[in-house]
A and B are shown apart, each in its own frame.
Chain A
Amino acid sequence: MSAIHQILSTSISSSASAFIGGHTNLKSATKSSNFAVAGKISGVVKCVASAAEKTAYTTKVSRNENMAKLQAGYLFPEIARRRAAHMLKYPDAKVISLGIGDTTEPIPDVITSAMSKRSFALSTFDGYSGYGAEQGEKQLRAAIASTYYGDLGIQEDDIFVSDGAKSDISRLQVLFGSNVTMAVQDPSYPAYVDSSVILGQTGQFQKDVEKFENIEYMRCTPENGFFPDLSTVRRTDIIFFCSPNNPTGYSASREQLTKLVQFAKENGSIIVYDSAYAMYVSDDSPKSIFEIPGAKEVALEVSSFSKYAGFTGVRLGWTAIPKELLYSDGFPVAKDFNRIVCTCFNGASNVAQAGGLACVSAEGIKAMHEVVGFYKENTSIIVDTFNSLGFKVYGGKNAPYVWVHFPGQSSWEVFGEILEKTHVVTTPGSGFGPAGEGFIRVSAFGHRENVLEACRRFKQLYK
């Protein structure tokens, strides 16, 4: 008996991935409701294959088994897909997006005018520049070092400018290779786990516990104040740590980060510290891992202009790697990262870098603080709303994310209910890891009137 399937065309929406990966054969792909197919699918089952029928030509190249381990599409395109489907279903509804953490407010003039200026300069004889240094423009590297790491001993040449933290995370995984073990917070920004799977660091996904084999998940819940109990954490080579945290919004204290650095030191591990939301810190939580003594020997730090300057579409970030960070054989991690950056990357866009330089000028920093302040006000409004409705609300103080508890409920179901009944897009907590089950992440990026309207609708739903 031979079943002959012919998929004539598949359609991919351009604004959101309509795919769910993880299918290892066509049969399950066609059955999946997440696989959008345009054109005809003829499934013809015959007892005898006829000479007239041909199966689609396939290469003899095996699919990368690591890709097959991924369970679904990346989280945020999936949220975008759900949003798009909802908008089709309710074309008149005013859908408000507090899901994907996408900035909404215009970029301050001082920053955009620097980018315009640089663009024009590129059309002049004196102003044209070709390839830039892969590590970033000298001035920008120096300015980032002095602005964010002023007296922390991080220098210009420790800074590697990039097209954003997400790209950097994958480049770091390429740097570390497939033989390293890693630990992540649970819940956490999905790029750490997904990039680890792609690089082949993990085993299979275990459906019963919703975890990948070989990754150490460090649970962060209300019970432990959203800081993991390190005494229960196994040694891994790499520890991903995001603070202020996406999605919980929790910002680790100096004491806690000191423990983390100590833990890394005892285990000889490397911390990859994601500080993309550091400018949202309202209290005296550290804004950089390098505020902790000894951190330079165990940590590198990744950050981004996305959530500070609204650069989500402009694409600019950086990674700081201290000279003191050494592999077990004494080889400096920065040297290998430099090699990766020179080989697998070709520098961030020069126009974006001109914008970045303006960001860290005195006027730019002031302007960024205003933008951040605006989103922080949004966050307060959302926190107050859920508090007033009697929910247990976390985060929202040091980060633009509010982590709302729906005990005993499926976060995808709550997400679906909120979407259906209020036309507000949020993000289900389980998308960030098993310890996110029972939580909803509400992001605070949005026009003020939309945030207020969303909160009105929440009040309606949950009154």
Chain B
Amino acid sequence: MQPESDTTFSFAISTSIKLGRPSIRKIFTSQDNGNVTSYRTKVARNPTLERLQYNYLFPEISARELEHIKKYPNAKVISLGIGDTTEPLPDVVASSMANYAHSLSTRTGYRGYGAEQGSKELRKAIAETFYKDMGIKDTEVFVSDGAQCDISRLQLLFGSKMSIAVQDPIFPAYIDSSVIIGQAGDVEKESGSYKNIQYMKCEPENSFFPDLSKTGRTDVIFFCSPNNPTGHAASRQQLEQVVRFAQENGSIIVYDSAYAVYISDESPRSIYEIPGAEKVAIEVSSFSKIAGFTGVRLGWTVVPKELLYSNGFPVINDFNRIVCTCFNGASRIAQAGGLASLSKEGFKAVISLIDYYKENAEILLETFKSMGLRVYGGVNAPYLWVHFPGSNSWDVFGEILEKTHIITVPGSGFGPAGKEFIRVTAFGQRENILEASRRLRSFL
């Protein structure tokens, strides 16, 4: 589509029941700068970006929220959509960050560039806190500015020739980053699936654990547990299956354990609890949902030294090179906060925040159950996965929003297998969670 004589676009989102997904209409603003066609460079747009079908999911949800607020300026919109933490940081964490920031204005305290892999102290603390007795060393921990960034850096590491498998439904960054880096191939417009991606369906029928016997071999297997969006935490037995599957196929697992601290039962909190995983798996995690660091930006990736490419070259060497070339370390202030959150006092405070969100999840779980709905998750993760059989999730999303002023996330945003589901997050202030519950109960 060619722009008119001016170069500004604005996009409006309109719901389209037939498509089951908002179509993005282009509206050309009527600014007229005369008859001159705008100059264009001769640089071709990156074809991989053209293959992305929609905006990234969460900005789209934000846009819908804004639209709704404009439409109903007096409604108290409650956001149970984007998984954004709401509770203030523990004092001990905030003050460590404040003190660190202050020390940067002193001669003895000032520090410049940090190690790209993160401060030794923090790497050690992460290894000790989350990987005790699992044989993971501080030198295998790479501190980052968050899991979303790490996922893209991992895609850079892997390159465009990798084949990937993902759970369906799943946190969209794995697929989107795969498309962008050129792995995914063309999209099949009807299903919205990409030709080169293996989708491992996770649904009530298989208890949200994929049938690996139906999954073709891929180089990389993205696996998120506890799962965003379904909330399912894979059991030890299930993860043993995944590790075995990876071993048999010579694949690399990228294990996303960002929600491990929400686990309530015996489910493993790290892939490295499974023997042999250090030879087949990378693990990505984040302080976002642990310490409320969604805006502070801090996470980590573990690459065991035993993880080798087919020619014997250690994956960690190349990841280190990526980190040194495409990144310059997480903010030192964020790292100071991370360290404080893993201190005895800090971790205690952080766990009580997590418990707070888990209580929210319980409340919402009860609410949906009392409404007679089939609801999953909410026990080992701060997400509830609510089933509306036979429905189109964008329609349900729209209806809930219109009638209760609650933002959720339509399941199909996470993949085709999410079509009949709605994701509800448990992040929120207690009174909002209670208010949301009240509204939902009266909704049906």
Interface residues of A (CB under 8 A from B): 5, 9-12, 14-17, 19, 21, 23-26, 29, 56-67, 70, 73-74, 76-77, 100, 102-109, 111-113, 115-117, 119-120, 122-125, 127-132, 134, 163-164, 166-167, 169-170, 174-180, 191, 194-195, 198-200, 237-238, 264-265, 267-270, 297-298, 310, 312-315, 323-332, 335-336, 339-340, 342-352, 355, 445
Contacts and interface: CB of A to CB of B under 8 A. Distances in A.
B3 A164 contact: no
A170 B326 contact: yes
Nearest to B37: A330
Nearest to A199: B156
Interface string B276-312: 0001100000000000101111000000011111111
Contacts of A25: 311-313
Interface string B54-84: 0110110000000000000000000000101
Given A77-B116, A104-B112, A314-B104, A120 B98 contact: yes
A120 B94 contact: yes
B333 interface: yes
A61 B310 CA distance: 5
B45 A329 contact: yes
Contact of A349 (B39, B43, B220, B331): B331
A167 B326 contact: yes
Contacts of B317: 10, 19, 21
Given A64-B159, A315-B332, A330-B40, 12 more contacts: A9-B305, A14-B138, A19-B320, A61-B310, A67-B159, A104-B110, A122-B295, A131-B295, A177-B182, A312-B328, A327-B40, A351-B296
B279 A200 contact: no
Contacts of B101: 112-113, 115-116, 119, 351, 355
Given A174-B156, A345-B148, A67 B110 contact: no
Contact of B312 (A58, A100, A131, A191): A58
Contacts of A127: 88
Contact of B43 (A5, A56, A265, A270): A270
Given A105-B110, A130-B295, A63 B311 contact: yes
Contacts of A180: 43-44, 46
A163 B322 contact: no
Contacts of A351: 97, 101, 296, 331, 333-334
B97 A107 contact: no
B396 interface: no
Contacts of A265: 39
User: Binding site of A, secondary structure by majority: helix, strand, loop or mixed?
Assistant: loop
Nearest to A297: B39
15 contacts: A11-B139, A21-B321, A56-B312, A113-B102, A119-B333, A120-B95, A123-B90, A174-B181, A191-B326, A238-B43, A312-B113, A340-B180, A345-B152, A350-B296, A351-B97
Contacts of A112: 101-102, 104-105
A325 B328 CA distance: 28
A312 B3 contact: no
Contacts of A115: 98, 101, 104, 333
A30 B252 CA distance: 24
A97 B249 CA distance: 49
B429 to A, nearest CB: 9
Interface of B: 1-3, 7-9, 38-49, 52, 55-56, 58-59, 82, 84-91, 93-95, 97-99, 101-102, 104-107, 109-118, 120, 123, 138-139, 145-146, 148-149, 151-152, 156-162, 173, 176-177, 180-182, 219-220, 246-247, 249-252, 279-280, 292, 294-297, 305-314, 316-318, 320-322, 324-334, 337, 427
Contacts of A339: 49, 52, 55-56
B327 A170 contact: yes
Contacts of A329: 40, 44-45
Contact of A163 (B43, B321, B328): B328
Most B CB atoms within 10 A — which of A116, A198, A342, A345? A116
Contacts of A122: 88-89, 94, 97, 292, 295-296
Given A59-B251, A108-B105, A314-B104, A74 B88 contact: no
Contacts of B312: 5, 25-26, 56, 58
Given A12-B320, A26-B312, A315-B329, A328 B297 contact: no
Given A63-B311, A270-B41, A134 B59 contact: yes
B318 A174 contact: no
Nearest to A68: B313
Contacts of B3: 330
Nearest to B280: A59
B179 to A, nearest CB: 9
A175 B320 CA distance: 22
Contacts of A312: 112-113, 328
A349 B334 contact: yes
A10 B82 contact: no
Given A11-B139, A109-B105, A61 B88 contact: no
A352 B297 CA distance: 10
A343 B314 contact: no
A335 B49 CA distance: 10
Contacts of B159: 64-67, 200
Nearest to B39: A297
A345 B56 CA distance: 12
Given A106-B104, A125-B88, A352 B320 contact: no
Contacts of A323: 7-8
Given A59-B310, A115-B333, A128-B88, A344 B177 contact: yes
Contacts of B149: 344-346
Nearest to A238: B43
A132 B148 CA distance: 14
Contact of B326 (A128, A166, A327): A166
Contacts of A9: 305
A166 B328 contact: yes
B123 to A, nearest CB: 7
B318 A67 contact: yes
B160 A200 contact: yes
B162 A61 contact: yes
A122 B260 CA distance: 24
A191 B296 CA distance: 26
A348 B42 contact: no
A324 B7 contact: yes
A23 B314 CA distance: 10
A352 B331 contact: yes
A325 B38 CA distance: 9
A131 B84 contact: yes
A267 B107 CA distance: 49
Nearest to A304: B328
A56 B309 CA distance: 11
B313 A15 contact: no
Contact of A23 (B9, B95, B97, B313): B313
A102 B112 contact: yes
B327 to A, nearest CB: 6
A347 B82 CA distance: 15
Contacts of B249: 60
A403 B224 CA distance: 50
